Structure 1
Amino acid sequence: METRDSNLKFLKAKNKVEKLKRFYIHSVVYIVINCVITMVKLMTNLNNDETFREALFDFSIIISWLVWGIALALHGFLVFILPLIIGEDWEEQKIEQYMNEELQND
């Protein structure tokens, strides 16, 4: 029984670390890709005789940061906030509930 509990705790911890890792990777990719998009768009706009301010505040640059930023914020919510709201072990509770229902139906 003790081994089962320690295995379960290990799997839960591993799952949390994987979720954090995916969020951190998503954050780094967000920053790198949006910086590249911004630089390319900025250079293109400057070559089209726009001022630096006009080039920087281009609608497509802002939308790129904003839309992907909303997606990243949602990802962060799912990783950090949602477990606090619904509880850390809600998945296990639901699995146990459905398994008990199946056992009662048999």
Structure 2
Amino acid sequence: MRHQHLINDPIEHLARKRAGAKLGWYMHAGVYLLVNLLLVTLSATSGRHWAVFPAVGWGIGLAVHGLVVFFLAGGTDLHERMVQAERDRIAQQHTGS
């Protein structure tokens, strides 16, 4: 019975969503490290340094993912201000002013 109450609790829902987003980034970072470690090893054994290109490209994606998860997606002042601005805009549209 208590579990059902937690599912309907908006704070619990938001906390789980944010924790899931952070866990997703940690998994992304872990796969990034493992794959790029393998690519660096293959690159070094071939005598060329081509592994830097996928590492940089994927690294940019990982950085953007981290920026969104940790700074823009929730709990930050910027996010809260943007949400409030959208609430105000929607309220104005519904009142017709």
TM over 0.5: yes
Q: What's 2:59 paired with?
A: 69
For 1:10 and 1:104, the matched residues in 2 are separated by 31
The one of 46, 68, 72 equivalent to 1:78 is: 68
Query: What is the TM-score when the length of structure 2 is the normalising length?
Result: 0.69
For 1:68 and 1:20, the matched residues in 2 are separated by 18
Aligned CA RMSD, in angstroms, stands at 2.6
Give, in angstroms, the shift of residue 85 of structure 1.
4.8
Query: What is the TM-score when the length of structure 1 is the normalising length?
Result: 0.64
| Runs ≥4 residues deviating over 2 A | 83-91, 93-105
The one of 31, 36, 39 equivalent to 2:38 is: 36
Q: What's 2:21 paired with?
A: 19
Gaps of 5+ in 1: none
Moved more, 26-35 or 79-88: 79-88
Question: Which residue identity is paired with 1:15?
Answer: K
Q: How many pairs are equivalent?
A: 88
For 1:101 and 1:67, the matched residues in 2 are separated by 42
For 2:10 and 2:81, the matched residues in 1 are separated by 11
Question: Which residue identity is paired with 1:34?
Answer: N
For 1:14 and 1:89, the matched residues in 2 are separated by 21
